[in-house]
Structure 1
Amino acid sequence: MTSLIRHSGLSVLAIAILSGCTATSSEQTINEQVTQQQSQVLLASPPKVNEALSLKQIMANPDWMGILAKGAYWGDDSQSIFFVRQAHGNPVKNYYEQALNGDKATQLTLNELHKASQKYGVLDNKKTKKAYIYQGNVFVKQLSSGLISQLTRQNSPVNGVRFLNNGDIAYWQGDDIYRIHNYTGMHEQIASIKMSAKPKGVEDPSSYIAKQQHRLIKYVSQQHDNDKKREQYKAELAEQDPTLASKVWYLGDSETVSDLSLSPDGRYVLLSLIDKGYSWRGEHDIMPNYLGKDGYVDAVPARARVAEDKNPGERLVLLDLDTHTERAITIEGLEGFDEDVLAKVKAENAKAKGESYKSERAPRKIQLIQDWGWEQSAIQWQEADNKVAVMLEAVDNKDRWIATLDLDKGSLNTEHRLHDDAWINYNFNQFGWLPATDDLYYLSEETGYSHLYLKREGKEAEPLTQGQYVVSDITLGPKAQFIYYKANKSHPGIDNVYRVEINTGKDEQLTQWDGQLDYSLSPDGNNLLLNASRRTEPSELYLQPIGGDLKKMTSYTSDAFKRYPWQAPEVVTVPSSHGADDVYARVYLPQGYDKSQADKYPAVIFNHGAGYLQNAHYGFSGYFREFMFHNLLTQQGYVVMDMDYRGSKGYGRDWRTAVYRQMGTPEVEDLKDGVSWMAANANVDANKVGTYGGSYGGFLTFMALFNEPELFQAGAALRPVTDWAHYNAPYTSNILNTPDVDPIAYERSSPIEHAQGLQKRLLIMSGVLDDNVFFQDSVRLVQRLIELEKPMFETAIYPVEPHGFKEPSSWLDEYRRIYKLFNEELK
């Protein structure tokens, strides 16, 4: 593993720690008390055993369920763990340490926070020291003694840090890189990168008037000559005086640094540059906050839409700090770098307009991989040598490359190419070097499932895992003997931790969990820290000694929540009538369920959000309010189903990409199969079924009601996407390409294009401050429905809410409306 902290990732850590240091320890306690007191306004009494649930209780401040441990990580000595707890709505985080042999965690005071092991710290080559960033400054910890030294104390925050091979420490602030010499303690600036044009210096006169002035006025000519001599002297001094800092790099004023990485010996800097004019913000829009603190409408900046987001890609540049030479990295070494991968799509769209399309090769736009599920840099230096591998992706989303860089030639060599005619997943992109070798390990979906591969130098890659299951979250063991990973081998909805021996390929299961989990390997490789849950049990921390017995480390779920007899949903498989694999779903049956009763049950199908997300699993649902709401519905005689429709996570590449260029089509087919399954297996009246969901689930509610008007009798769409051309580029362009290239996909997949099909009652609910799915999405659809003269829809707006609602009062209002809708239309 490389001793490198990613340039863009550290600010997140600094902000997280800063937010935990804004009050004294006593003030933190007071803040928690204030939050709890304020929540009492909406916090009903916890439900009693055998007592019917209430919406007010379900949607209350969730702290009544317990304030759980988050972000857990290991102490450097492998003998303790650290984690965070944060009350709902409280801006202050509380940090805790718990010894492995202890029964209770201790809250860290503010003057102890800097002593906590830093999750994103880096080790030196001998694994005796750890450098980390706290409050924007660099600290070093001696691992044997625990002694901590602060190396910087500055107002300008440090963005990244690493150990060099000789034990020196390098760090960077913005685009300036510094080196702290191990033996002398000297701070040396080894690179100053300026994204501006190089100063022109003293120029000779060029116009007629200027030349005349120099020719006729001796004083002017003499001053000019003196300026040139001074400039020449400074240049020679910079070349020959060893006491001066390195020369400045002027890289032009048209780009900005997107990422930077320093080589293990401090000689090379690899930069990723992007057009300075490119921004995540939209050119034309703001998000209006109608309840601004000064009584006026605040204009909040908004992201760009996929229809206007013109990602220019990134350019790699290598700086040699020893020779002060700059090399632009060419992309010709990437296999398929100039393929017209969208030729078929472009031809189809051209034909629809009565035109023809001629395919031509041209260099594609590329960028460092933008993975959404890991904290690793896309630039990986070999641990003790100047060899570097990069993971790149095409902006068109069809290719991912792992390539090594020839530092002398500035060229890339493809080590692995992953191509997908649909899109490359934004998960499962971890990779790295095996220490002291030229061998690479990585995850790839090339067989249809994410698996672990090893590519030894000069040889074909070999799989270390195989099968119809998903491998994720890989960790190289401390001695590089094993690679640890998470997988859902026994069931798509059950996670466990495994390890594979690199040299022999021997695979070993390390946990025996029956729900969902995340894990972290201790620094000494002897224990696993699990954040694990079951269907009715929220996540707690567990210690799993490798080869030993599981131990529960935390118990923060409230007694009130644990005492209540929650119904654990059954995970079932729904046969597909549309040529797909079976669909996994959660089913909640009514209290006193009797399949033989004469009157059939009404039913509700919940559509999860996020598109690529898994909910029909054996862990505690991230939709905890919906979980409780579904329990309430069963008490009122409903059958409830949560489906992992096509496009959901956990089932492999083909399930994921089934929605390519047709979002809302295969998913609605799966919903139809879900209704049929409930009618055949749960005594459900197929004419009394409703559906609801938020975000992607709201979009899916629209598509079902608009395109299959007889399927559901009512639907509620929360914070819903109505037109994919208005959503963000990173997510949408994966699945639908871009509107200028593939308008067919957008018209096929956007609910606003199908609104004329609405025949049943629809409830639309949106937050005005939603910077993910804009409030405008709902406004446009409402106007479309008005113009179509559709009388069967209602709307509710929430003026202070973002995409994920914050206020219990908003949650309560929202679900009261949903509950009322279902009771009126389905019962």
Structure 2
Amino acid sequence: MKHIFVSLLLLVGALPALAQPSKPALTVETIMQDPRQWVGTSPSGVFWSDDSKTIYFSWNPDKALGDSLYKITLVNGNYVSSAKPVKVSVAERRTLTPNDAVYNRARTMRVYDKYGDLFLLDRQTGKVRTLTSTVDRESNPVFSSDEKAILFTRSSNLYRLDLASGLTEQLTNFDPGAKRPTPNSNSQESWLKRDQLALFDVLRQRKAKRDEAERDTKAEQPRRPKTIYTEGKSVMNPSLSPDGRVVTFALMKAATGAKSTIVPSFVTESGFTEDLPGRTKVGAPLSAVEFMVYDVARDTALAVSLANLPGITDKPDYLMPTAVTSGSATVAGRSTVSAAEKTPTDTTKKLAADLKKAANRPVFVGAPVWTDAPNGRYAIIAVRAIDNKDRWLMLLDTEKPTTLKLLDRQRDEAWVGGPGIGGGFSSGTLGWLDDQTIYFQSETDGYSHLYSMNVLTGQRTQLTKGRFEVQQVVLSADKKMFYLTTNEVHPGEQHFYRMAVTGGQRTQLTTMTGASDATLSPDESQMVVRYSTGNKPWELFLMSNPTVGGSPKKTTSARKTVVSNVPGNSVQLTTSTTDAFRTYPWRDAEVVTIPARDGQPIYARIYKPATDASVKANGKAVIFVHGAGYLQNAHKWWSQYFREYMFHNLLVDKGYTVLDIDYRGSAGYGRNWRTGIYRFMGGKDLTDHVDAADWLVKNHGVDAKRIGIYGGSYGGFITLMGMFTTPDVFKAGAALRPVTDWAAYNHGYTSNILNEPYSDTLAYRRSSPIYHAAGLKGHLLICHGMVDVNVHFQDAVRLTQRLIELKKENWELAPYPVEDHGFVEPTSWMDEYKRILKLFEERL
């Protein structure tokens, strides 16, 4: 009986603990399994039906192999509980109007291309008229200025389709061949011909008769556009001016002599090793672009000279001798540049001497943005220097189309960028408010803001201002309002605003903490908001769009007006996560700021065992480095690194403190933060991580000798630089698909930041991990997909050989034969993260 009594006491004492719901244990196998089965699939690709009655989106609640199109139909413009998401049939999908269909001015019709043919929607009747049905592909349809015809492209040529008669007229005739050479007026043949006609009456008479017959015959024939010989160059963006005077187009000559890489694929269906086409490397020759106009009345094609662009001959500061020989940069307080590297090379000296020659820099030319005024004569052209240090907004006037007028020049000695600024052939945010006023974005004051300008007077107005970024811009149908997405509440939040086109107060339409990605209905009465928080994936919500000055209660400040009751009016439309996923109490990481050594605040997300009484901190810490460089991850919405987020929860369950920071170069913090890595990747972006590690030690009880670091792509690069150049800070690191030598990466990304390897050897030498591998002390894991067509597996192979030659033994390479840059197979994810976990568990 005594033993029974004791057993009962033990059982009673255990009852309260048994009553507590236990937190499911996370494993690598669980969190790295197929996310469709475990997490669920969030909705994406939201668009509305043209009548604003139906919401469409991609979704996969059935855990199928791929997402499908779903819809929710509103009843009298309102959501009802019975209106559940329904999968859209293939037949219905074929009839849907694409979201990018073009409106006429009255918004009564829309024209679009689909499956290579053109269609016209009558919005009042809902009827769709098929305009073309051909083997050739028609695309880029727009309404003509008088809206009596549709302009479109076919095989790079521009056509006009009359809506009344159905007649199709070809407006341009581009021939890829070379123009037949004409005899030189001073040549022997030309002189003999003139002499013959001067000597013999019969020849003169016969020629006159023949010329008259040819003129009569030509007059009888319908007009045909002049053949424009492009000499093998590609035609881009042919566009007819609203007044019908000119057709603008660009000619691009492909680069020659640019060697492309290949990526061998070993595990193939054929059983043979197959070569995948790759890219060129930074510094390879680039395509050349000419901007042209075809004068319709004169039937003549003319080149538009860009030689007079202000600053077209300006060379970047880094090529100046004083810049090349400036003092060394430092990483973690020590010099990383040798005396030899500070000395200008013969190549650099030659480049500096060549700078005295005033050569025009090559440029990209964007598609013209024409005023939509009837018979308008103006277009805005965005021109960007190929070295990406200048962007010009130019005015084209059809009365003098070969001479462009400067409206705005944005110069950045690092590189021009930021939200809404565009890049390459993209013009970014650019449009017309009326026939004289344009709007655009610029980083002139250090943050990407919205501006307007009168193109005739040059008067410019800054419409938004402050230490935040305008991240998306939508102009209302009546051109009276802008709808803006900004991060002005907090760098880690995104909200939707409404503002008059003249600027002034902004009305905040979303208020829930996190990120709100809003899609307005065509009638602008409602919006679907794709919303998430730090620990909850994206879901769809339906919200009303309160009218300006209407009934919703507002809180007013000098900066903006907040509609305070909108969240109460929202309706959740989807629930995407699985029951299994929701059983775990996912942490909402705290967003904090860490002081950098130069006084700048570093935004970070911290996951702490201290917030969970059931987990005891063990003094270990792991710092995660996000990829892409220009990307934001220390925010309050669901991260695209959701697997890493779940792994961080697993680490915290084991007692780790986890931190990820928006280091120098990250998105969301303005121009100075964006360009903080110019000419030195692995400089301030790495010292930000070193400062963050020091902050963890001083403020969160972390052992300075038990800190690990990991990340993929750019994150893998920073991991290597940390392990090689600050080896006493990080004891272990996992570099996933890392760049090991920036001279082997692509041109578009790398040349912005490091210029070109043969003109800025210093930048590449101090920024490439392969040159610093001798500094490795801690334990290093490298993981890389073997069919990575972005950061090639060759990067890992070359670093492997370097480590072998340096006789390093504290590293390993895990290759993944079927994986590209972003892993796909769950087994690959599992293997990779088991290795990462093992590294930290054993070495920290």
Fold shared by both chains (TM-score > 0.5) = yes
User: For the residues of structure 1 that align with 2:223 and 2:440, how far apart are their CA atoms?
Assistant: 43
Residue in 2 that maps onto 1:432: 430
Aligned mate of 2:239, from 242, 245, 261: 261
Residue in 2 that maps onto 1:386: 377
2:361 pairs with 1:364:
yes
Residue in 1 that maps onto 2:496: 497
* Deviation by residue 1:453-479 (Cα, 9 ceiling, x = unmatched): 111231431111111011121111111
Matches of residues 652-731 of structure 1 in structure 2 within 5 Å?
A: 652-731=670-749
Give 1:780's aligned amino acid: R
Q: Say which is worse superposed, 613-622 or 471-480, in terms of deviation.
A: 471-480
Give the aligned CA root-mean-square deviation in angstroms.
2.9
2:243 pairs with 1:251:
no
Q: Say which is worse superposed, 738-747 or 677-686, in terms of deviation.
A: 677-686
Q: CA shift at 1:614, angstroms?
A: 0.3
3-state SS, counterpart of residue 698 of structure 2: helix
* Deviation by residue 1:442-499 (Cα, 9 ceiling, x = unmatched): 1111111111111123143111111101112111111111111111111100111112
Rate the CA distance shift 1:773–1:176 in 2: closer, same or farther, 3 A.
same
* Deviation by residue 1:537-556 (Cα, 9 ceiling, x = unmatched): 11112222122522222222
Aligned mate of 1:54, from 23, 27, 39: 27
Asked if the contact 1:260–1:269 (Cα under 8 Å) also holds between the matched residues in 2, the reply is yes
Give 1:742's aligned amino acid: D
- For structure 1, which runs of at least 5 residues remain unmatched after alignment? 1-47, 212-227, 370-376
Q: Say which is worse superposed, 178-187 or 265-274, in terms of deviation.
A: 265-274
Task: State percent identity of aligned pairs.
Answer: 37
User: For the residues of structure 2 that align with 1:705 and 1:602, how far apart are their CA atoms?
Assistant: 17
Aligned mate of 2:141, from 137, 161, 174: 161
Number of residue-to-residue matches in the alignment: 750
Residue in 2 that maps onto 1:750: 768
Residue in 2 that maps onto 1:507: 506
Aligned mate of 1:283, from 241, 251, 259: 259
Residue in 1 that maps onto 2:397: 406
User: For the residues of structure 2 that align with 1:596 and 1:113, how far apart are their CA atoms?
Assistant: 51
Give 1:386's aligned amino acid: R
Asked if the contact 2:463–2:503 (Cα under 8 Å) also holds between the matched residues in 1, the reply is no
User: For the residues of structure 1 that align with 2:61 and 2:795, how far apart are their CA atoms?
Assistant: 32
* Deviation by residue 1:273-327 (Cα, 9 ceiling, x = unmatched): 2213459xx51521111123211111111111103x2224421111123432112
Q: CA shift at 1:381, angstroms?
A: 4.2
* Deviation by residue 1:538-579 (Cα, 9 ceiling, x = unmatched): 111222212252222222222332332111111111111x21
Asked if the contact 1:595–1:683 (Cα under 8 Å) also holds between the matched residues in 2, the reply is no
Give 1:341's aligned amino acid: P
Q: CA shift at 1:105, angstroms?
A: 2.4
Q: CA shift at 1:268, angstroms?
A: 2.7
Asked if the contact 2:254–2:287 (Cα under 8 Å) also holds between the matched residues in 1, the reply is no
User: For the residues of structure 2 that align with 1:328 and 1:49, how far apart are their CA atoms?
Assistant: 74
Matches of residues 114-153 of structure 1 in structure 2 within 5 Å?
A: 114-153=94-133
Give 2:526's aligned amino acid: N
3-state SS, counterpart of residue 411 of structure 1: coil
Rate the CA distance shift 1:423–1:235 in 2: closer, same or farther, 3 A.
farther
User: For the residues of structure 2 that align with 1:424 and 1:62, how far apart are their CA atoms?
Assistant: 37
Q: CA shift at 1:580, angstroms?
A: 4.0
Q: CA shift at 1:110, angstroms?
A: 1.6
3-state SS, counterpart of residue 519 of structure 2: strand
User: For the residues of structure 2 that align with 1:96 and 1:87, how far apart are their CA atoms?
Assistant: 10
3-state SS, counterpart of residue 179 of structure 1: strand
TM-score norm. by structure 1 comes to: 0.86
Matches of residues 106-121 of structure 1 in structure 2 within 5 Å?
A: 106-121=86-101
Give 1:688's aligned amino acid: R
Aligned mate of 1:95, from 66, 69, 78: 69
Q: CA shift at 1:506, angstroms?
A: 2.9
Q: CA shift at 1:106, angstroms?
A: 2.5
3-state SS, counterpart of residue 668 of structure 1: helix
Q: Say which is worse superposed, 390-399 or 587-596, in terms of deviation.
A: 587-596
2:437 pairs with 1:417:
no
3-state SS, counterpart of residue 751 of structure 2: helix
Give 1:56's aligned amino acid: E
Rate the CA distance shift 1:417–1:684 in 2: closer, same or farther, 3 A.
same
3-state SS, counterpart of residue 638 of structure 2: coil
Asked if the contact 1:590–1:638 (Cα under 8 Å) also holds between the matched residues in 2, the reply is yes
Q: CA shift at 1:77, angstroms?
A: 1.8
Asked if the contact 2:61–2:576 (Cα under 8 Å) also holds between the matched residues in 1, the reply is no
Residue in 2 that maps onto 1:535: 534
Rate the CA distance shift 1:820–1:191 in 2: closer, same or farther, 3 A.
same
Aligned mate of 1:353, from 345, 353, 356: 345
Asked if the contact 2:493–2:515 (Cα under 8 Å) also holds between the matched residues in 1, the reply is yes
Q: CA shift at 1:240, angstroms?
A: 2.3
Q: Which is higher, the Rg of structure 1 or of structure 2?
A: 2
Aligned mate of 2:609, from 583, 586, 590: 590
* Deviation by residue 1:249-283 (Cα, 9 ceiling, x = unmatched): 22323x2224333333554322122213459xx51
Residue in 2 that maps onto 1:565: 585
Rate the CA distance shift 1:794–1:248 in 2: closer, same or farther, 3 A.
same
Q: CA shift at 1:435, angstroms?
A: 4.0
3-state SS, counterpart of residue 722 of structure 2: helix
Rate the CA distance shift 1:108–1:236 in 2: closer, same or farther, 3 A.
farther
Rate the CA distance shift 1:154–1:449 in 2: closer, same or farther, 3 A.
same
Residue in 2 that maps onto 1:15: none
Give 1:572's aligned amino acid: V
Aligned mate of 2:387, from 376, 390, 396: 396
User: For the residues of structure 2 that align with 1:166 and 1:138, how far apart are their CA atoms?
Assistant: 19
Q: CA shift at 1:236, angstroms?
A: 4.7
Rate the CA distance shift 1:313–1:199 in 2: closer, same or farther, 3 A.
closer
User: For the residues of structure 2 that align with 1:664 and 1:184, how far apart are their CA atoms?
Assistant: 64
Asked if the contact 2:542–2:572 (Cα under 8 Å) also holds between the matched residues in 1, the reply is yes
Give 2:298's aligned amino acid: T
Residue in 1 that maps onto 2:12: none
2:162 pairs with 1:181:
yes
Asked if the contact 2:40–2:61 (Cα under 8 Å) also holds between the matched residues in 1, the reply is no
Give 2:235's aligned amino acid: V
Aligned mate of 1:732, from 750, 762, 785: 750
Residue in 2 that maps onto 1:574: 594
Q: CA shift at 1:413, angstroms?
A: 1.1
Residue in 2 that maps onto 1:481: 480
3-state SS, counterpart of residue 516 of structure 2: strand
Give 1:79's aligned amino acid: K
Residue in 1 that maps onto 2:462: 463
User: For the residues of structure 2 that align with 1:257 and 1:296, how far apart are their CA atoms?
Assistant: 39
User: For the residues of structure 2 that align with 1:303 and 1:383, how far apart are their CA atoms?
Assistant: 43
Asked if the contact 1:346–1:741 (Cα under 8 Å) also holds between the matched residues in 2, the reply is no
Q: CA shift at 1:589, angstroms?
A: 1.2
Rate the CA distance shift 1:531–1:238 in 2: closer, same or farther, 3 A.
farther
Q: CA shift at 1:165, angstroms?
A: 1.7
Q: Say which is worse superposed, 176-185 or 601-610, in terms of deviation.
A: 176-185
User: For the residues of structure 1 that align with 2:167 and 2:431, how far apart are their CA atoms?
Assistant: 32
